[in-house]
Amino acid sequence: MSYETIEVSETGGVATIAMNRPAVMNALSSQMRLDLAEALEAAAGTARCIVLTGTGRAFCSGQDLQDATNIAAVDFERILNEEYVPLLRLITDAPVPVIAAVNGAAAGAGANLALACDVVIAAESASFIQAFTRIGLIPDAGGTHWLPRQIGLARAMGAALFADKIGARQAADWGMIWEAVPDAEFEAVVAARAGHLAAGPTGAYRALKQALRGSFDLDLAGALALEARLQGQCGASADFVEGVTAFLEKRAPRFKGA
């Protein structure tokens, strides 16, 4: 299927969704949000791993401020509830791992779109900017949720209040992202990471996402109960049998997924 604002390809169980408006640093127009949602929903039903990235020199510069004819009349509450929330939930609730491959600048909602993903891998030249206060707004697209949980309240406050650029290496050191890699190695590392996940036990990955993401809303007793229930499901799967068999036979497992 072809899209107006994104490019989609799938190979080896990995679906790559690339935001493709390089002239505006892949700013999130209403059409792009629709395209992304449709592509993510489709990929979740066919792929074993999804990679979200950008074309050109940016990952995503955030909300397209030229997408409205009258900026004073923009209804951000409606846009967030009707367009961003469903998109973010497609990422967090996807039954397969979602990697954000941050190839360049990730600003505003673009930064938080990346942080919604399960794993963030960034080129060392990439950066993250909570640019909202520069135009009189607060972090949105999940930013107020992800930031304090990933980097702590003090750093989240500073990043949001000052809207400073945070380099990929610093973001990795802070725990905001999984890793920052040299630009020359970026594409190879992303491909290797995505290939590893695509070959892995997708049922376990799905349960793992449920357990880790769900833990923020649970007390210890609730988290332990969810963990036990999901582990019971994993232990009854063919992937578990294959994993143990492969371990005992000293070979690589051949997971089929669930």
All domains of the chain in start order, with CATH: 6-198 (3.90.226.10), 202-248 (1.10.12.10)
15: Cβ–Cβ under 8 A, 6 or more apart, which residues? 8, 9, 39, 43, 46, 47, 49, 50, 51
Tokens read off for 123 = 């080129």
pTM of the shown model: 0.94
What pLDDT, on a 0 to 100 scale, did the predictor assign at position 59?
98
Helices within the chain (DSSP H only): 30-44, 76-79, 85-92, 109-115, 143-151, 153-162, 168-174, 186-198, 202-214, 220-235, 238-248
Instruction: Identify any residues that bridge with 165 across adjacent strands, giving them in sequence order.
Output: 129
**pLDDT by 10s per residue, the chain, length 258:** 789 999 999 999 999 999 999 999 999 999 999 999 999 999 999 999 999 999 999 999 999 988 766 777 789 999 999 999 999 999 999 999 999 999 999 999 999 999 999 999 999 999 999 999 999 999 999 999 999 999 999 999 999 999 999 999 999 999 999 999 999 999 999 999 999 999 999 999 999 999 999 999 999 999 999 999 999 999 999 999 999 999 999 999 999 865
Task: Give the Cβ contact number of residue 228 at 10 Å.
Answer: 10
Q: Are 99 and 190 in contact (CB under 8 A)?
A: yes
What pLDDT, on a 0 to 100 scale, did the predictor assign at position 69?
64
What pLDDT, on a 0 to 100 scale, did the predictor assign at position 1?
77
Residues 150, 26: Cα–Cα separation, whole Å? 25
Q: Are 218 and 226 in contact (CB under 8 A)?
A: yes
Tokens read off for 201 = 């036990």
Q: Are 43 and 17 in contact (CB under 8 A)?
A: yes
What pLDDT, on a 0 to 100 scale, did the predictor assign at position 43?
97
Buried residues in 107-145 as b, exposed as e (16+ CB within 10 A): bbbbbbbbbbbbbbbbbbbbbbbbbbeeeeeebbbbbbe
Tokens read off for 82 = 């009707």
What pLDDT, on a 0 to 100 scale, did the predictor assign at position 258?
55
What pLDDT, on a 0 to 100 scale, did the predictor assign at position 71?
73
**Cα–Cα distances in Å, from 53 out to 1, 8, 66, 258?**
18, 10, 22, 26
Q: What are phi and psi for residue 68, nearest 5 degrees?
A: -120, 140
Task: Give the Cβ contact number of residue 222 at 10 Å.
Answer: 12
What pLDDT, on a 0 to 100 scale, did the predictor assign at position 256?
85
